[in-house]
Structure 1
């Protein structure tokens, strides 16, 4: 509660009206956060990751530039990351203790807070699309395992053979974990979960997250990525959030919903304190950054690590992580376009809205 009061106090500073050049659309993506070592990042590997992030960023940006929905944009951005062996989602997912690849994903539309999620699926190439089908074509929010796969078949998803998802690097990580009696964190120096959040030109936000979980996971373990409110949340009144990290801690904090709830409270306080009805209740970037940093500090205080990406109705595209790095990118119609890997660094190119 003290943290919320502090955030609200910060919000009560004089709030100028949104500038006319505020972004009409915004997009942020991530490809995992964790203990990344710059010394082990070869120029070739860096180039590969940056290219993959740029491709995902461009896929989502194209949808938004052309007036498409935030929901379509996040799917467009996540699919190429699910298809890339560089990330722990779809192809390239980590192995469970039993030597299988089990995939989780979730998606949420800020317009009506409709949501869909799947966990433990093994035969769906792009789990983010199945999560969205749960959202739109079922009366449920969360399906798992064999039931989710039966639903996929019923809805026309082709069966993807399990070997499609497997990669030598992920198999070696499992073998080393077993041989050396290591923890998942000892072989997973990064959390390769992927995600995207977007604001479209109609003022709607959306969020999506997809992952293969943790190396050597057992007993049907599920982390935060497919859990609405922990790894994914979207609400037009507040923000859209996608998380990546040590899922057990993100679940305990309810990270994605916690961030949106605090931002919504700031909006409501500003509206109540406005001197005139048209004074507005816009949240500044520094206020939103304060909130996401505070929530990530809460995660760290419990012993967890990872990161989040965020977009707000005002067009702010932000991120926060308490690890040495997070594969990330963001773009807006105001011309911002950047990707980054380690803390304190970004690769920027300007792309004006067109």
Structure 2
């Protein structure tokens, strides 16, 4: 009998020790950095880009300009696609893709940035990591050639999320990023747009009854570039860059550098980049709202994007669009304007490019 009791005691002791070891092992696993999740790789990935939304109509677009926009969109998205296809991260794909768009005078970001009321160029950008929910953003820089690279540096190499103005530029210099003379951002067509807007503004000041619709005036609030991506490790990322609104004053900042409004990424739901009337996208927290609808309401990315862009934002009085991709690789390009420069590629390499609503 004593031998049986002793044997039972030993078994119980061994069982307790084993349970403790399992608990310790589980505890240790939970404490491992999120990077462990990157060890799992699949062939599923996707990338979507935009170059701004607005009154983009085929009747107003010359064949040469249409070809130029399509060519630049294709060039940019293929840079990101190649990064993803070779196992690169979604963050790298987003950063490098947006850099291509920033370097083009076709889009209101980087080289093609619009002018403020004072005839200067003030740039904003942001980027977000869906795996860690870390983010970086900047507002009101005038000498940083590629704002998206500065946003990435803020995220990776500073304890902050957003920097602005001269402080952001000082940080960029310390990080060895390329700085340029403000004249680098000058483009004649953007300056002429500013002068046109100012003349229209002056005319309306003296003639309050004027109600003539002018698409070039209406669309001065639009113009952004963005990218969202899902990599083979299942990580999402989003980034957005802009020159803001033509004729903006007083250091105005739109939704682009605001995490949750212009940019948001979360591996549990989706990655979103916005383009539109920034004041309304800030009030609606558009990018995060789409993610929240998926998380809390359990609806699809397509349903969430449609709810926000086709219903919520118009009810506030705003317009624009978004691009997004979810954790399963589903891609969405939703907008309520006449057009949006956009492109997408899936893991199979299927490329879609659109400019107008009917495409």
TM more than 0.5? yes
SS class of match (1:180): helix
Among 287, 308, 324, which residue is 1:295 paired with?
308
Q: Does the CA contact (< 8 Å) of 1:23 and 1:314 recur in 2?
A: no
Q: Which of 180, 188, 193 is 2:200 aligned to?
A: 180
CA distance in structure 2 between the aligned counterparts of 1:155 and 1:188, rounded to whole angstroms: 38
Specify the alignment match of 1:97 in structure 2.
117
1:189 and 2:219 matched = yes
Q: 1:306 aligns with which of 320, 334, 337?
A: 320
1:75 paired to 2:95: yes
Q: Secondary structure at the match of 2:79?
A: helix
Match of 2:175 among 127, 139, 155: 155
Structure 2: segments with no counterpart, 5+ residues: 1-41, 205-213
TM-score between the two structures when normalised by the length of structure 2: 0.82
**Unpaired segments ≥5 residues, structure 1:** 1-21, 268-282, 346-354
- Which structure carries more helix by proportion? 2
- What are the equivalent positions in structure 2 for 1:1-354 lying under 5 Å apart? 24-181=44-201, 186-187=216-217, 189=219, 191-266=222-297, 287-296=300-309, 297-345=311-359
8 Å CA contact retained: 1:36, 1:189: no
Measure, in 2, the Cα distance between the counterparts of 1:97 and 1:226: 20
Q: 1: distance between equivalents of 2:87 and 2:349?
A: 16
Distance 1:47 1:189 in 2: 21
Relative to structure 1, the CA distance from residue 188 to residue 149 in structure 2 (aligned partners, 3 Å threshold; closer, same or farther) is: farther
Contact between 1:25 and 1:333, CA under 8 Å: does it hold in 2? Answer: yes
Shift of 1:186: 4.6
Q: Counterpart of 1:249 in 2: which secondary structure?
A: helix
Q: Which has the larger radius of gyration?
A: 2
Hey, what's the Cα distance between the residues in 1 that align with 2:90 and 2:271?
Answer: 10
The two structures, once aligned, show a CA RMSD in angstroms of 1.6
Distance 2:227 2:56 in 1: 21
Do the aligned residues in 1 keep the contact of 2:223 with 2:245 (CA within 8 Å)?
no
1:23 and 1:305, CA in 2 relative to 1: closer, same or farther beyond 3 A?
farther
Partner Cα distance (1:23, 1:120) in 2:
39
Alpha-carbon separation, structure 2, partners of 1:311 and 1:96: 33
Q: Is the CA contact (8 Å cut-off) linking 1:197 and 1:208 kept in structure 2? A: yes
SS of 1:157's partner is coil
Q: Does the aligned pair in 1 maintain the 2:270–2:301 contact within 8 Å?
A: no
Query: How big is each residue's C-alpha offset from its partner over 1:204-230, in whole Å with a ceiling of 9 and x where there is no partner?
Result: 000000000000000000000010000
Q: How many corresponding residue pairs?
A: 306
Output the TM-score relative to the length of structure 1.
0.84
How far does the alpha carbon of each residue in 1:169-207 deviate from its partner, in whole angstroms, 9 at most, with x for none?
000011111223169975363722000000000000000
Q: Displacement of 1:334 after TM fit? A: 3.2
Q: Post-superposition shift, 1:290?
A: 1.3
Q: Deviations over 1:23-57 (max 9, x none)?
A: 70000000000111221111101000000100111
